[in-house]
């Protein structure tokens, strides 16, 4: 039975696109009733990156307990749901299929509407969970798999302004952390060590700056850190390591924000949303706030928990699409490469 007429709709969302199995229950656009994330990071750590087969198996084991926990924490039974949302792509195909199969079976068994969600739209939708946004806004999505700038003239519509031509920013953080022997996933460790370092000690390149284009490139920066690391064959002192982390991070942040600034100026947008796992980075958050202040634009940064992969953001995107009348059929398939501007 759907909830009573006047109660806002309640949606269960499931996310399994990469290495987090997550489920959340959202009532209306901002009442987050539960948000459960089971991370597989430890399973992938010894390989220094996500291993698709391991991810699929771990999702298959975790999806039922994670959904149960989300419903229990929300205090909502299956009869209290109005819809089910699930990440359809982009992501690892096998990993996506676990969430999709489960969501389709649940929706079919309970006669609930199903909504397939784009993972990148979900990252941006995290901003709507805590804020009412003005349009148009510029969205900078920075994660382990993606780095792109969008202009959103209205909810659910996106124009691609620029994207990375090689590595994503999060991937660069993870690869540099690996080069420096800091483990996986490394972004959060680089962030922590960089706090004790000098961001100006080493002059790493700022690729594609001054090109006038809004695209990014991070593979040259990663190579520069590798060459720098080789110069220190005898080993980096602790201070050298901190300074390397700080200088690398500053190069990434400089590049991201220079392009975001150009995007704001070109579009005339008065609001900047920064989201995705790298939006947890403390230096990026600090410098984005300074930039927004200087330009007189509003900055919306979801809290860190909502920046890394989670199902609350999938619920936010899914609920909005559900309210707009979107419905997916039982033939809903995974879309490993799915551009936001094609929605």
Nearest to 257 by CA among 227, 313, 216: 216
Q: Could you say whether residue 21 binds Zn ion (CB under 5 A)?
A: no
Shortest reach from residue 142's CB to Zn ion, in Å = 10
Q: Could you say whether residue 174 binds ligand KG4 (CB under 6 A)?
A: yes
Alpha-carbon distance of 282 to 166, in angstroms, equals 24
Among 144, 162, 197, 199, indicate the residue that binds ligand KG4 (CB under 6 A).
144
162 binds, among Zn ion, ligand KG4, none (CB under 5 to 8 A by kind): none
Closer residue to Zn ion, CB minimum distance, 112 or 120: 120
Cis bond upstream, residue 107 (ω within 30): no
Shortest reach from residue 235's CB to Zn ion, in Å = 35
Q: Could you say whether residue 118 binds ligand KG4 (CB under 6 A)?
A: no
Alpha-carbon distance of 117 to 135, in angstroms, equals 21
Orientation of helix 169-179 relative to helix 187-194, angle to 10°: 70
Closer residue to ligand KG4, CB minimum distance, 118 or 152: 118
Q: Could you say whether residue 90 binds ligand KG4 (CB under 6 A)?
A: no
Shortest reach from residue 144's CB to ligand KG4, in Å = 3
Alpha-carbon distance of 279 to 308, in angstroms, equals 8
Q: Which two tokens stand for residue 260?
A: 């975001």
Nearest to 250 by CA among 300, 184, 176: 176
50 binds, among ligand KG4, Zn ion, none (CB under 5 to 8 A by kind): none
Strands in the chain per DSSP E: 10-15, 20-27, 31-39, 83-89, 114-118, 137-142, 147-154, 157-163, 271-275, 298-300
Determine the length of the chain.
343
Closer residue to ligand KG4, CB minimum distance, 17 or 267: 17
Closer residue to ligand KG4, CB minimum distance, 80 or 144: 144
If phi > 0 it is left, if psi is from -120 to 50 it is alpha, else beta; for residue 196 that is alpha
Q: Could you say whether residue 188 binds ligand KG4 (CB under 6 A)?
A: yes
Of 73-81, 142-150, 153-161, 296-304, the window that binds Zn ion (rule: CB under 5 A) is 142-150
Closer residue to ligand KG4, CB minimum distance, 107 or 126: 126
Neighbours of 304 (CB within 10 A): 14
Of 55-63, 124-132, 231-239, 275-283, the window that binds ligand KG4 (rule: CB under 6 A) is 275-283
89 binds, among ligand KG4, Zn ion, none (CB under 5 to 8 A by kind): none
Closer residue to ligand KG4, CB minimum distance, 76 or 245: 245
Alpha-carbon distance of 252 to 63, in angstroms, equals 35
CB 9 within 8 A of CB 27: yes
Shortest reach from residue 29's CB to ligand KG4, in Å = 21
Residue span 286-315 as binding mask against Zn ion, x where in contact by CB under 5 A, dash where not: -----------------------x------
Q: Which residue has the tokens 């195909």?
A: 93
Which residues sit at the interface with ligand KG4, rule CB under 6 A? 18, 143-145, 170, 173-174, 185-188, 191, 276-278, 280-281, 308-309
Which residues sit at the interface with Zn ion, rule CB under 5 A? 143, 309
């Amino acid at each position: 039975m759907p909830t009573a007429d006047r109660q806002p709709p309640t949606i269960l969302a499931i996310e399994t696109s990469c290495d987090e199995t997550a489920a959340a229950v959202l009532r209306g656009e901002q009442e987050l009733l539960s948000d459960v994330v089971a991370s597989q990071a430890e399973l992938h750590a010894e390989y220094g990156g996500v291993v698709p087969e391991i991810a699929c198996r771990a999702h298959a084991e975790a999806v039922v307990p994670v959904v149960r926990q989300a419903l229990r924490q929300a205090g909502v039974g299956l009869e209290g749901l109005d819809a089910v949302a699930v990440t359809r792509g982009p992501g690892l195909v096998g990993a996506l299929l676990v969430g999709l199969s489960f969501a389709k079976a649940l929706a079919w068994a309970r006669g609930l509407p199903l909504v397939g969600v784009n993972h990148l739209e979900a990252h941006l939708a995290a901003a709507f969970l805590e804020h009412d946004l003005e349009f148009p806004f510029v969205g900078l999505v920075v994660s382990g798999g993606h780095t792109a700038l969008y202009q959103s003239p209205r909810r659910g519509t996106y124009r691609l302004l620029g994207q990375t031509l090689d590595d994503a920013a999060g991937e660069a953080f993870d690869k540099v952390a690996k080069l420096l022997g800091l483990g996986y996933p490394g972004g959060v460790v680089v962030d922590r060590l960089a706090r004790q370092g000098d961001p100006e000690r080493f002059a790493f390149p700022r690729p594609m700056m001054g090109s006038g284009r809004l695209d990014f490139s991070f593979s040259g920066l990663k190579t520069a850190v590798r060459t720098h690391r080789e110069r220190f064959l005898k080993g980096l002192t602790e201070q050298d390591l901190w300074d390397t982390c700080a200088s690398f991070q500053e190069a990434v942040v400089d590049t991201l924000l220079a392009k975001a600034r150009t995007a704001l100026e070109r579009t005339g947008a008065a609001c900047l949303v920064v989201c995705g796992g790298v939006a947890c980075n403390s230096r990026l958050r600090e410098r984005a706030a300074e930039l927004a202040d200087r330009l007189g634009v509003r900055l919306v940064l979801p809290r860190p928990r909502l920046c890394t992969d989670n199902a609350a953001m999938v619920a936010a995107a899914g609920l909005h699409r559900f309210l707009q009348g979107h419905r997916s059929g039982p033939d809903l398939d995974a879309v490993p490469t799915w551009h936001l501007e094609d929605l």
